[in-house]
Amino acid sequence: MGFKMGIVGLPNVGKSTLFNALTKTAAAQAANFPFCTIEPNVGEVAVPDARLGKLAAIAGSKQIIPARMTFVDIAGLVRGASKGEGLGNQFLANIRECDAIAHVLRCFEDGDITHVEGRIDPVADAETIETELMLADLESIERRRANLARKIKGNDKDAADQDRLLALAQKALEDGQPARVVKVSEDDARAWSLLQLLTAKPVLYVCNVEETSAESGNSQSARVAEMAAKQGAGTVVISARIEEEIAQLPDEDAAAFLEEMGLQEAGLDRLIRAGYALLGLQTYFTIGPKEARAWTILKGMLAPQAAGVIHGDFEKGFIRAETIGYEDYIAGKGEAGAKEAGKFRVEGKTYEVKDGDVLHFLFNA
């Protein structure tokens, strides 16, 4: 399953530096002027998961294939983007294609790096971005509702349902709230997602701090955390500059560098996991001598849907799933030991896959 997280923010907050670190490349030009990223850069990154290596070691797997997430580095937004200022129209279109948004906020002082607003205030920066997205959504909703009016007069039920949901979003936006505060029923969930409202997308705030604050953050990141808590959003503290340095080092040197900096793990690992959780994702594994592989699914997926992530035929012809929980696989030192311990299960079409399940699917071709 492909999931995209857009990296957004004002110019010169560290977006491209962070993207470089994420993809371990210098593909995104990091420069001290607005709009240095003209086209969105797209990079796939492995989701860090220590469980996969342990499973592979037990099974003697020749190849290890981790789960992956896609990050999109999007051109910097400026005030007035909703009206096309700067690269506004392109910025908004790129965000619309993403499943979630990582707001990178500048939480560091550096006289050598200019700020487009001439001040360091991450909470105000977040509000600027949110305001532009809300204004863009309002304009889009008003236009779409006007176009739906004729269909509604003709008793088009789908148009009426779409208009009803757009009206809910419009009310929230007019009250100064993003569309994601709207609670929709399970029956409306798919139609709601198809509206592709910018402010309906889940948000993660990424506090880019100076190197000395990478472990515990600073007063600016604390302000962001307070803001995020009120919104029910998540935050991650990271030093993009440190992460870019780490990304260029061999694994053993990177570990030593982290220890030297007093960091238990790379900030990028926390960011990727936070993005994974934000999107409501989890992992199951297929393990064998040929390969050990992690697969990404949505939480709550049933076994046939999870099988369909591998191949559509697996879902269509699903018979059953042979299942071992991760802890049971490790404790039994493989499938045979798990079977001896009575931890091997056969599950049917109504089984809800759990995070960490080791699965083998049987299906009719």
> Which pLDDT band holds residue 334 (cuts at 50, 70, 90)?
very high
**pLDDT attached to residue 15:** 86
> Which pLDDT band holds residue 243 (cuts at 50, 70, 90)?
confident
Window from 79-88, 183-192, 218-227, 328-337 with minimum mean pLDDT:
79-88
> Which pLDDT band holds residue 244 (cuts at 50, 70, 90)?
confident
Q: How many degrees, rounded to 5, is the angle at CA 44 between CA 113 and CA 2?
A: 125
**pLDDT attached to residue 288:** 95
What would the mean pLDDT of 332-359 be, rounded to a whole number?
96
Ordered by where they begin, the domains of the chain are 4-278 (3.40.50.300), 300-363 (3.10.20.30)
Residue with the larger pLDDT of the pair 162 and 95: 162
**Percent of the chain, pLDDT > 90?**
54
Residue with the larger pLDDT of the pair 294 and 43: 294
Q: What DSSP string describes 176-239?
A: T--GGG----GGGHHHHHHT--GGGS-EEEEEE--GGGTTT--HHHHHHHHHHHHHT-EEEEE-
> Which pLDDT band holds residue 115 (cuts at 50, 70, 90)?
low
**pLDDT attached to residue 78:** 55
pLDDT above 70 for 37: no
> Which pLDDT band holds residue 79 (cuts at 50, 70, 90)?
low
Other CB atoms within a 10 A radius of the CB of residue 132 amount to: 23
> Which pLDDT band holds residue 238 (cuts at 50, 70, 90)?
very high
For residue range 193-203, what is the model confidence (pLDDT) as tens digits? 999 999 999 99
**pLDDT attached to residue 9:** 85
pLDDT above 60 for 294: yes
Report which of 108, 114, 139, 102 is spatially closest to residue 31, judged by C-alpha positions.
114
What would the mean pLDDT of 321-328 be, rounded to a whole number?
97
pLDDT above 70 for 309: yes
**pLDDT attached to residue 202:** 92
Window from 8-22, 216-230, 335-349 with minimum mean pLDDT:
8-22
Write down the mean pLDDT value for the chain.
Answer: 86
**pLDDT attached to residue 35:** 38
**pLDDT attached to residue 338:** 96
Number of residues that make up the chain: 365
pLDDT above 50 for 19: yes
Q: 5: which strand partners?
A: 71, 100
Strands 234-238 and 203-208, by their bridges, are: parallel
Strands 100-106 and 4-8, by their bridges, are: parallel
